[in-house]
Amino acid sequence: MNLTHLEKLESESIHIIREVASEFENPVMLYSIGKDSAVMLHLALKAFAPSKLPFKLLHVDTTWKFREMIAFRDEIAKEYNLDLLVHINKEGVKNNIGPITHGSKLHTDVMKTQALKQALDKYKFDAAFGGARRDEEKSRAKERVFSFRDQQHHWDPKNQRPELWNLYNTKIAKGENVRVFPLSNWTEIDVWQYIYQEKINIVPLYFAKERPVIKRDNLLLMVDDKRLDVKEHEKIENRMVRFRTLGCYPLTGAIESTATSVEEIIIELLESKNSEREGRAIDKDQIGSMEKKKQEGYF
């Protein structure tokens, strides 16, 4: 009698999540509101049922998320009675850092990477769950499940701890921390199948709907608020679109789609010719760009 692929992934993830709760003093779950976070949260709720989650959730808010994401976040926190912390880099806000004025690289660095480090330092978290998967990007393929970071939160690809069986090394010195990725072995399609099987609630932006968009740098950007600064030659059109990944709205391209249910999304994905991160502006700054960001402390 063997478990199915999805059951095995579920079992592995629950084991990882429980291990962190058992071995670390002050863990936190990074909640980015996206579908991977939704699955990770769902698995954590299963791991500790009927107890409450034995750790807090943290959302690093860049102040440029889609409005629907923020509304969804607050709804979920209420529904599951979650202990949710929201952190914003006040320094960045003071300097008016944003993706449109400062470009994706600086914006991501200040409002995401630096903000995350600030939050981890502020609350002295020793372990932080993230929803990243190995299939997302080439440099992620080598990431450990328990990814060790030094006191400066840096990741050294040449100095990672070997990970055998499910015997994760949770030992760290004071001030150091680990990033833990319970969904390491899940693929995008696995995530969607699990959402389908478990009927997990996700942000409506994943489903196709007529939305006001403009075309800019080959991305279809949704006009989520006035800050987008629509130029005269850019025409706002209402198109049937959805999002494959969710980030800061001026950096996240929509795709044209008619998929209005999880089933339709799965079929669309199976027939798709483009990868999920394609809609992300930040990966393409330069070759090997994700690897560089990770060394600097990006999730």
Partner 1 sequence: MDLEKFFQNQNNKKQVKILTCGSVDDGKSTLLGRLLYDSQNVFVDQIDQAKIESEKYGTQGKDIDLALLIDGLQAEREQGITIDVAYRFFETSKCKFIVADTPGHEQYTRNMATGASNSDVAIILIDAQKGVLEQTKRHSFIVNLLGIQHVVVAINKMDLVNYDENIFHKIVTEYKELLKNFNLISTKYIPLSALKGDNVFSTFENTKWYTGPSLIETLENIQIQEVDLNNAFSMPVQWVNRSSSDFRGYAGTISSGKVSKGDVITTAISNFQTSIKNIYGPNGELSEAFTNQPVTLTLKDELDISRGDIILTQDNKEIIKADQFAAHLVWMDQEPMLPERNYIFRFNNTYINGQITDLAHSINVNSYEEIATKKLNLNDIAYCKIALTKMHSIAPYKNNHQLGSFVIIDPYNNKTIGAGMIDHALRRSTNISWHEMSINKETRSKLNVQQPCVIWFTGLSGSGKSTIADILEQKLHTINKRTYLLDGDNVRHGLNKDLGFTDTDRVENIRRVAEVSKLMLDAGLITLVSFISPFRSERKMARDLLEEGEFFEVFVSTPLEECEKRDPKGLYKKARSGELKNFTGIDSTYEIPENADLVLDTKTNNAEELADQIINFLESKKII
Q: Is 268 exposed, middle or buried (0-12, 13-18, 19+ CB in 10 A)?
A: middle
CA torsion sign for 197, 49, 178, 74 is positive
Under the criterion CB under 8 A, does residue 51 sit at the interface with partner 1? yes
Shortest distance in whole angstroms from residue 242 CB to partner 1? 17
Q: Which of 150, 163, 237, 285 binds partner 1 (CB under 8 A)?
A: 163
**Closer to partner 1 by Cβ: residue 237 or 283:** 283
**Closer to partner 1 by Cβ: residue 49 or 79:** 49
Shortest distance in whole angstroms from residue 296 CB to partner 1? 14
Q: Which of 184, 245, 252, 257 binds partner 1 (CB under 8 A)?
A: 184
Under the criterion CB under 8 A, does residue 48 sit at the interface with partner 1? yes
> CA of 272: how far to CAs of 255, 257, 266, 267, in Å?
11, 11, 10, 8
Say if CB 88 and CB 268 are below 8 A apart: no
Under the criterion CB under 8 A, does residue 287 sit at the interface with partner 1? yes
* 272 torsion bin: left (phi>0), alpha (psi -120 to 50), beta (else): beta
**Closer to partner 1 by Cβ: residue 42 or 65:** 42
Please report where in the chains the tokens 């990672």 appear, as a residue. 160
Q: Which of 124, 161, 215, 235 binds partner 1 (CB under 8 A)?
A: 161
Q: Is 150 exposed, middle or buried (0-12, 13-18, 19+ CB in 10 A)?
A: middle
Q: Which of 68, 74, 234, 278 binds partner 1 (CB under 8 A)?
A: 278
Contact flags string 190-209 toward partner 1, x per CB under 8 A: x--x--xx------------
Say if CB 36 and CB 183 are below 8 A apart: yes
Say how far apart CA 214 and CA 99 lie, in whole Å: 16
Under the criterion CB under 8 A, does residue 10 sit at the interface with partner 1? yes
**Closer to partner 1 by Cβ: residue 21 or 200:** 21
Shortest distance in whole angstroms from residue 191 CB to partner 1? 12
Contacts with 214 (C-beta within 8 Å, 6 or more apart), sequence order: 220, 221, 223, 228, 230, 234, 235, 236, 237
Binding footprint of partner 1 on the chain (CB under 8 A): 1-11, 14-15, 18-19, 21-22, 46-52, 134-135, 138-139, 141-142, 157-158, 160-167, 169, 171-173, 184-185, 187, 189-190, 193, 196-197, 263, 266, 272-275, 278, 287-288, 291
